Structure 1
Amino acid sequence: MQISIIHEREVWDRFIDQSPGGTIFHKWDFLKTVEKHLGYKLLPYGFYVTDEILCAIPLFYKNIRGVKMLFSPPPQSGIPYLGFVLSRNCMNMKLSKKSQRMYEMGKVFSDEVDSLSPNYVSISLTPFITDVRPFKWNGFMIDPLYTFYFDLEQSLEDICNGFNTSKRTAVKKMDKYNMKLVESKDVKQFYNSSVDRYREQGLTFPIVSIAYLEELCQLYPCHIKVYSIMDADDNMVGGVLASEHRKVTMWIGSVKPSVKAPVNEFLFWEFIKKSKSEGYQELEMGGADVPRLCAFKSQFNPDMYVNYRIYKKDLIGSMAEWFYLNVHRKKKA
């Protein structure tokens, strides 16, 4: 097995489109937009056996004041997970052969990472990559991560019956608030309102810039959309940036509203109905890893995925991580 950079957009996107594990976040133009706005160097690697690509992974490299960092995805991109994408052929292999290929990938990948000599490596994998043993065997540490989702093959009645009492009651009383969910082209309004709501809660909106989101919406108008919740007077009281690619992901937003109306209850229920009516089988809502979000979202009785972060760090990398979490991010907040 060999590893090398893939330089052709068509080769990369064809592989991502053909793999069941490919996401909108893995698409070439999306990755190039991340590179442009966040200042990382994109390293789109492919793993080959003869001429067949068995796996691909986009890495982002940056040297900040002598600290060499390797991410997939990088901070402030808002991407929930990225990492490895396996070919359909590889995913369908019998366990013995697939395990052997994964073992080879783990070794080849570890050697390539070592050749870049980073101080810090962090890769958040998609839920499709569940066998992380090859990376553990090659010196990576493992963190389990979690995300909430709804199985939309259930009936709306069954989904609603799974809500706790307060959320079921809120759904039944929605009409009195006269709210509506509308698709919006105003990325700026969504971005500014989200920044303000995060700031009011002592938090930093985890996106590098409005220009970044605007470019992504322009590149993928059918797959990345802004939705606003409007009240009876057409005031925006909530919103979300959604990814609609193979499944619906409530990607960015749905922050705690500044009004007393059940805005997020309305948002989740409307998205469940909308996604199901459009034929999607799954709605991802995230938030399972954050205590303040988990407590709220678990009341809707979603299912939960486990995915993994693999990482390595030396002493310099550990110091840089501490500084980022305890000084840099707090200053921004």
Structure 2
Amino acid sequence: MKTLQVDRTPKKWNDLSRTEGSSRAPKNRHLSRYISVFPGVALLLALSVFPSLYSIVVSFQKWVLTDPKGREFNGIDNYRELLSNPDFWHSLKVTLTFVLLTVLIESVLAYMLALLFFRPMPFHRLMRTLILVPMLTAPIVIGMLSRFMFDSQFGIINSFSESLGLGRHDFLSGLHSAFLTLVAVDIWQWTPFLFLIFLAAMQSVPEELIEAVKLDGASRLQIIAHIFIPLMKYPIIVGVTLRLIDSFRVYDLIYATTRGGPINLTSTMSWSIYESGFKILNVGLASAYSVIFLVTVLVVSSFFLRKLAKESDLS
């Protein structure tokens, strides 16, 4: 008769805990993931999602801070008032013109700078640092600096222009120069942003591929058109899209320089929202303006992304 042998050696505590807690391990693992993500999600909800939803609710209300007790639901009256106001369409035109001009010129200049700094040159690190200084400076500081530099009496730009015999000009108050001055300042500040993205993408192109194309007799223009641009299409799409969205929100520069003048020639949508909410104190109208502004940014950005993505797929 066979005897049943029982293993009486003591099991380790780790083995016991592993077998007993195996069923609870997946639940605890999923719970720990949710706990680690919760602070970020809560911060996003508090600072982004909730204010956006609340502004949509307020946009359907009549709410003027001078009459806080008269707050009431008025349907789409705020939107009807905006869409029938010529100043709204003027600010939309100014905004779209500003965005298209700045993003287009910044993209071309940034690509040219990336080509220039693609190969090492004397003092290239110092020159790169100097190029990045405007981007690293706060926009309000750039605006105040531009206000002093373009001052008609004491500005260094006018002093230099007068020394060349070109006379003095009202860059920030002229009917034809105020808007172009803001465009120039924005280009000076944010071209380095696209320059960094383009240069990083350009330097990621394999050197062996460039040398092989050169041995086949390709010129510099052919290398740029058939090697750099196709391999850089996705970084270009990302960089240009980020600048497109950011240029819509221009406010600090206008606040520090023109304040929307002269005669609203530099009044963008973001500046009009500020005037509606903080000057007229019409919170309902400002909220409706913000919703239309958000929809405009989404429509233009999605159209631009689809256009670039379609062209990149065809290539």
TM-score by length of 1: 0.23
| TM-score normalised according to structure 2 size | 0.24
Higher helix share: 2
- Which structure ranks higher in relative contact order (CA pairs < 8 Å, sequence separation ≥ 6)? 2
* Greater percentage in strand: 1
Return the index of the structure with the highest Cα Rg.
Answer: 2
